């Protein structure tokens, strides 16, 4: 399946993410965190585990040496996984813990990129998730989620930006902003989705009128998820899941003449 590794060489195995290059026949050295996790799992030499680089490369290898600070794998199989259809997220700069939770779930759902937006109402949040140290925490959460969900691609992270800069940097494609007054995201009146999709999620308290005007000027269509007001992280997960499901269904849809 495109973008996933459900039946691949590392499926069902303990999985680890590395930035080190790896190839069949070579030895891949994993870091202290991976070594600690292996000890927690009580893995010993000879165990076969999965490894992935977050950029589509997935492999399997045998553990040949385990120390307190490193794990050495002899790589036996490698495959390249194509990325999922593109779904980009503009998320609010908001409460740190809730942003971290959303980062984890966004990775599990296979979002393509992650860009925090400093909305006007973001400025009143404390403590809010921003800065280089927080970006590192976001990537750590995403990396852990990638291994657990057996994905192949990490979201591309971007630093936080004011709305104007975020709109200028947003990819072209179907642009949607969550708005209680928008059209339904699902159903007969929903906006047809095709990749790439860009989803803008506003802050707690909603998006200001002039910010909505700026979004409309940049080609963002307002959509809603249902009759209730959702917290930003709930809304983002729901919208991402809908977009991902819709795009996956479109990419696998068969004609009546094709075999079932």
pTM, 2 dp? 0.87
Give the dihedral of Cα atoms 66, 68, 70, 74; nearest 10 deg: 0
Residues 111 and 203 occupy one common structural domain: yes
Per-residue pLDDT, 6: 54
Asked if the structure places residue 3 within a domain, the reply is no
pLDDT tens per residue, range 60-118 = 999 999 999 999 999 999 999 999 999 999 999 999 999 999 999 999 999 999 999 99
Query: Strand pairing of 220-224 and 27-30?
Result: unpaired
Work out the pLDDT band at 222, boundaries 50, 70, 90: very high
Domain hosting residue 72, numbered range = 15-80
- Same domain for 37 and 163, yes or no, is no
Could you tell me if 174 and 130 lie in one domain?
yes
| Residue-level pLDDT at 259 | 38
Lowest mean pLDDT among 6-15, 85-94, 201-210, 250-259: 250-259
Assign 3-state DSSP to the chain and report helix, strand, coil percentages, each to 5.
Answer: 30, 30, 40
Provide the pLDDT for residue 113: 97
Largest CA distance in the chain: 61
pLDDT digits (tens, 9 = 90+) for 163-191: 999 999 999 999 999 999 999 998 877 77
Answer whether residue 10 is part of any domain.
no
| Confidence (pLDDT) at 260 | 38
In the chain, pLDDT over 70 holds for what percent of residues?
A: 92
Q: Which of 202, 244, 1 is nearest to 106 (CA)?
A: 244
CATH number at residue 240: 3.40.1280.10
Q: Is 210 left (phi over 0), alpha (psi -120 to 50) or beta?
A: alpha
| Count of domains observed in the chain | 2
Of the candidates 217, 212, 229, 236, the one whose C-alpha atom is nearest the C-alpha of residue 90 is: 236
């Amino acid at each position: 399946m495109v973008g996933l590794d459900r039946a691949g060489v590392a499926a069902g195995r303990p999985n680890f993410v590395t930035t080190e290059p790896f190839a069949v026949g070579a030895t891949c050295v994993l870091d202290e965190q991976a070594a600690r996790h292996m000890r927690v799992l009580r893995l010993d030499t000879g165990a076969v585990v999965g490894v992935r680089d977050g950029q589509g490369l997935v492999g399997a290898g045998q553990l040949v040496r385990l120390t307190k600070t490193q794990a050495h794998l002899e790589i036996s199989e490698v495959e390249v996984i194509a990325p999922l259809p593109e779904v980009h997220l503009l998320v609010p700069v908001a409460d740190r813990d809730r942003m971290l939770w959303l980062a984890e779930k966004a990775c599990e759902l296979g979002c393509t990129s992650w860009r925090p937006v400093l909305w006007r109402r973001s400025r009143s949040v404390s403590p809010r998730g921003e800065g280089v140290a927080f970006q590192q925490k976001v990537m750590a959460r995403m990396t852990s989620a990638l291994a657990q969900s057996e994905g192949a691609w990490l979201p591309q992270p971007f630093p936080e930006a004011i709305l104007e800069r975020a709109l200028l940097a947003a990819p072209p494609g179907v642009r949607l902003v969550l708005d209680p007054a928008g059209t339904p995201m699902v159903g007969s009146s929903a906006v047809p989705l095709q990749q790439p999709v860009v989803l803008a999620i506003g802050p707690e308290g909603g998006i200001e009128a002039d910010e909505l005007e700026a979004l409309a000027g940049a080609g963002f269509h307002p959509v809603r998820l249902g009759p209730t007001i959702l917290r930003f992280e709930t809304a983002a997960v729901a919208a991402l899941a809908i977009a991902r499901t819709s795009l996956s269904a479109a990419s696998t849809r068969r004609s009546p003449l094709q075999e079932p």
